[in-house]
Amino acid sequence: MLDEKTIEIIKSTVPVLEEHGEEITGRFYDLLFQHHPELLNIFNQTNQKKKTQRTALSNAVIAAAANIDRLENIVPVVKQISHKHRSIGVKPEHYPIVGKYLLIAIKDVLKDGAAPEVIQAWEKAYGVIADAFIGIEKDMYEQAETQKGGWKDYKAFQIDKKVKESKEITSFYLKPEDGQVLPEFKAGQYISVKVYIPDTGYTHIRQYSLSDVSGKDYYRISVKKEGIVSSYLHDQLHEKDSIEISAPAGDFVLDPDSKKNLVLISAGVGITPMISMLKTVAKTQPQRNVLFIHAARSGEYHALRHEAEEAAEHSSVDTLFIYSEPSEQDRSENIRFREGRIDKQLLEEVMTDKDADFYLCGSPSFIKEMKKLISEFNTPPESIHYELFEPQLSMV
């Protein structure tokens, strides 16, 4: 536990961190990779270039400082981050390295504002926060390894099948090379894929949602071609090739005890975890009312549509597809779609019961807009769940 003086000093630094946070975290990452280039094999360098990771870390440091006297307030976020850390392979030995260069970055940026007592207070606080992460992640590593069919870190899988789902999205059916049974996963979880791309000099790790139900002899990911790793998967990897993946992780999952109606709203490649949720509910809770809303540019950009339609045929599922730029082919086919975008009027029209569990997945702007619309129905925050593709609060 931290003493009152340390807590007081940490909380007093919040305004300074709010002003200089991203400068500090930018300096931190520069120092980290300069002195530990091996960590380039863990960190997403695309997010580094876009500066989204430094923003996420800055937000995390500010949140930790503001809640340093009641860290239980950020436990849900810590667990969310820890899922990602376990998935990509963050280990206890990484935390002292991060702490060292974070403190140096604070000194470098704040200069005279980083008095010795401030640095000492942050050194203590970081130790407490790091211990919380290490403890939670230790349990997650043990669970991943000791569960039936589980494994430690990464395991070799073969691409059993590649299926083009839309103009931009391809599904990869992955089977373990050792032929062992696969661990169960919760609908909405993801796996990390680790690949070495020639000419880049280091490995790349990306998270992809599992897009099918659990209990099969394969894991399926449905990947949009939009960056260096996804392009490598699409263009350079073929059926029978091998890739390494981590065991499933993530806390964006269905509440197994909820009996409320379920509303799944997605856009673009955000459909991937939603299809897993939809097919799981259709299989395990066929009487539960589900409204499945998906937005896409047009039919040729709409992946996994037939699987959503099939789920609706055999359970209490209602589907609605929204196309912003429908083609003539879309109009000629027997597809239930509406032209336009998801707005409040549409939601009011199609939602018969607004006391529901809402799950959202898509771009940050899409999530922000959907949260705003749903909140206007006086939906409690705990009933709105979402998954972002951008970095969120992250300590490393």
- Which runs of consecutive H residues, i.e. helices, occur in the chain? 4-12, 14-35, 45-50, 52-66, 75-88, 94-110, 116-146, 228-236, 271-284, 305-313, 328-332, 344-350, 364-375
Q: What is the pLDDT of residues 293-315, one digit of tens each?
A: 999 999 999 999 999 999 998 88
CA distance 275 to 187: 9
- pTM > 0.85: yes
Question: Does 209 appear as a known binding residue?
Answer: yes
* pLDDT (0 to 100) of residue 45: 77
Does 384 count as an annotated binding residue? no
- Is 208 annotated in some ligand binding site? yes
Please give the span between the terminal C-alpha atoms of the chain, in angstroms, as a whole number: 22
Q: State yes or no: 272 annotated in a binding site.
A: yes
pLDDT of amino acid 353? 79
Active site residue 307: no
To the question of whether residue 190 is assigned a binding role by annotation, the answer is: yes
**Angstrom distance (rounded) from CA 28 to CA 48:** 12
pLDDT at 75: 86
Give the number of C-alpha atoms closer than 13 A to the C-alpha of residue 151, restricted to the C-beta side.
Answer: 18
In one letter, which amino acid is 176? P
Residue type, 245: I
Residue 306 annotated as binding? no
For residue 140, give the nearest of 83, 190, 184 by alpha carbon: 83
For residues 106 and 358, what is the distance between their CA atoms, to the nearest angstrom? 40
pLDDT in tens, 105-131: 999 999 988 899 999 999 999 999 999
With beta carbons less than 8 A apart as the criterion, state whether 174 and 159 touch: yes
Distance, CA of 63 to CA of 168 (rounded, Å): 37
Q: What is the pLDDT of residue 141?
A: 97
Give the domains, in start order, of the chain with CATH numbers. Answer: 4-146 (1.10.490.10), 154-246 (2.40.30.10), 261-388 (3.40.50.80)
Is residue 113 part of an annotated ligand binding site? no
Residue 243: is it exposed, middle or buried by C-beta count within 10 angstroms (0-12/13-18/19+)?
Answer: buried
Catalytic residue among 29, 95, 301, 386: 95
**Is position 269 annotated in a ligand binding site?**
yes
Closest CA to 377 of 351, 340, 339, 396: 351
pLDDT of residue 392: 53
Q: Which parts of the chain sit beneath pLDDT 50?
A: 393-396
Contacts of 208 (CB under 8 A, 6+ apart): 190, 191, 193, 221, 222, 223, 272
Query: 288, exposed or middle or buried, with CB in 10 Å at 0-12, 13-18, 19+?
Result: middle
Residue 219 known to be catalytic: no
What's residue 47's pLDDT? Answer: 76
Q: Indicate the SS3 state at residue 205.
A: strand
**Short-list 67, 133, 70, CA closest to 96:** 133
Identify the active-site residue in 101, 126, 137, 168: 137
Question: CB-based burial of residue 239 (10 Å sphere; 0-12 exposed, 13-18 middle, 19+ buried)?
Answer: exposed
> Residue 149, annotated ligand binder?
no
State how far the Cα of 85 lies from the Cα of 246, in Å rounded to an integer: 11
Which pLDDT does position 279 carry in this prediction?
Answer: 96
